Amino acid sequence: MMSRAISTLITTDEIQMELGWSKYMVRLLLQMPEAPASIRGKYTCDRYDRERVLAVARTREAQVAKMQWDETLRGHRPNPGWTSRLGDIGAVLGISAVAVGKILELLGYRLDKCVTESAVAAGCGVRRWDGYALHSDWHLDRVVSAIGSTVEVSGKPAVADALAAALAKQDARERVASRKRRQEEMKATSRLEEEAVISGLQIELRALRATDPGMSLLTAVEYITSDPAQRIALYRRCSTEDQSIGSSSKRQDDSGLLKIGASAARDLGLLERRAKAEGFQV
């Protein structure tokens, strides 16, 4: 009984040899095997009931799957002129990849993210197996031409409406992106101009303090400029410079550095409070 039961089972490799199926087709059409593979057992390959396999092979679903498999290309990359990226088609049309996918579905060329028989028959799509997964490849020029010619046909307004909506949405996205780029460029220019102003004030401040070594940084900053924002930026930069000079001095101990830091924080807080009182954002 056991030997006869075993003889009715057929392995995945035997199915591939006898029926010309791929492992992908075996998993798709037969689902769960009667005897799953086990590394501990004698068999290292899934086994299926032969009668069930032959019954499935006679179904319309299996015949269509076999025809599709025979038409499927083999390779790791699309052929020249073909692409698996909907974004490449969208770049030509000026729309997003998502919009291209929706239009291909309206044309009947795409279903569940896969190429349909209509797309294959029209020469716009092919299936490709890379050894691990199926890919949908699209002929770039033919797809673009098919969409363009369909838009001109009044009998399919849905495609024309989808393309118009996608173009409008893409145009809106580009306007927003352009506005953001202009804002970033303006901010960058403003930062450069501010940097140039602060650098110039820093040179003046150094010259001023050189003539009067006893002048405090706060007094020098307030003398150099009356702009609250510039005072804060200038003080932050120069106080950092003063603290780095103080920390490099061998005569300065930790308590002295703490006093310098506390004094700088106190003066900076004073400048910030004055700026807020004058209505400036700190």
Kindly list the domain boundaries of the chain, sorted by start residue: 2-71, 82-175, 187-277
Going by pLDDT thresholds of 50, 70 and 90, the confidence category of residue 250 is very low
Going by pLDDT thresholds of 50, 70 and 90, the confidence category of residue 106 is very high
Please choose, from the candidates 160, 96, 101, 148, the residue with its C-alpha nearest in 3D space to the C-alpha of residue 125: 101
| 197-232 pLDDT tens trace | 989 988 998 898 888 888 888 888 888 888 888 888
Give the Cα separation of 245 and 204 in Å (integer): 19
| 152-211 pLDDT tens trace | 876 788 999 999 999 999 889 888 988 999 999 999 998 899 899 989 988 998 898 888
Tell me the mean pLDDT in the region 39-62.
82
Length of the chain: 282
Pairing of strands 125-129, 73-74: parallel
Please choose, from the candidates 233, 137, 244, the residue with its C-alpha nearest in 3D space to the C-alpha of residue 190: 233
Stated pTM of the model: 0.58
Three-state DSSP state, 272: helix
- For 125, the token pair is 């799509």
pLDDT at residue 39 in the model: 55
Going by pLDDT thresholds of 50, 70 and 90, the confidence category of residue 3 is very low
Three-state DSSP state, 8: coil
The whole-chain average pLDDT of the chain stands at: 84
Q: H/E element holding 279? A: none
pLDDT > 50? residue 5: no
- CB-based burial of residue 30 (10 Å sphere; 0-12 exposed, 13-18 middle, 19+ buried)? buried
Going by pLDDT thresholds of 50, 70 and 90, the confidence category of residue 110 is very high
pLDDT at residue 247 in the model: 56
Give the 3-state secondary structure percentages of the chain, helix then strand then coil, rounded to 5.
Answer: 65, 10, 25
Going by pLDDT thresholds of 50, 70 and 90, the confidence category of residue 13 is confident
Q: Write the CB contacts of 101 (distance below 8 Å, at least 6 apart in sequence).
A: 86, 110, 113
Going by pLDDT thresholds of 50, 70 and 90, the confidence category of residue 255 is low
- Residue 113 Rama label (left phi>0; alpha psi -120 to 50; beta): left
**Ordered DSSP codes for 40-86:** SSS--S-EEEHHHHHHHHTSHHHHHHHHHHHH-EE-SSPPTTEES-H
Best mean pLDDT range from 30-34, 44-48, 120-124: 120-124
Q: Tokens 């692409």 map to which residue?
A: 83
pLDDT at residue 258 in the model: 66
Residue with more model confidence, 152 or 92 = 92
pLDDT > 60? residue 277: yes
- For 39, the token pair is 């590394």
pLDDT > 60? residue 72: yes
Contact call for residues 100 and 93 (beta carbons, < 8 A):
yes
DSSP label at 155? T
pLDDT > 60? residue 95: yes
Give the Cα separation of 80 and 5 in Å (integer): 51
pLDDT at residue 38 in the model: 63
pLDDT at residue 242 in the model: 67
